């Protein structure tokens, strides 16, 4: 099951507001951590 677009949009906004350095913590890594904290299971 994929992550809904609305959630990805929300995470993108949070990532931008947090001023995270993408060289140190890319969005994909950060977003994976956040959705796992929300209880989503990431399957590769």
pLDDT (tens digit, 9 = 90+) per residue, 1-17? 578 899 999 999 999 99
Confidence grade of residue 44 (pLDDT, cut at 50, 70, 90): low
Give the distance from CA 24 to its chain's centroid: 15
Kindly give, in sequence order, each residue whose CB lies less than 8 Å from that of residue 34, ignoring residues fewer than 6 positions away.
11, 14
What's the pLDDT score for residue 30?
Answer: 96
Q: What is the pLDDT of residues 16-43, one digit of tens each?
A: 999 999 999 999 999 999 999 999 887 7
What is the Cα–Cα distance from 4 to 25, expressed in whole angstroms?
22
Instruction: Report pTM.
Output: 0.79
The answer to whether 31 touches 11, Cβ cutoff 8 Å, is: yes
């Amino acid at each position: 099951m994929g992550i809904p677009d609305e959630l990805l949009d929300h995470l993108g906004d949070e990532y931008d507001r947090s001023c995270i350095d993408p060289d140190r913590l890319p969005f994909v890594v950060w977003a994976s951590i956040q959705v796992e904290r929300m209880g989503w299971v990431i399957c590769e």
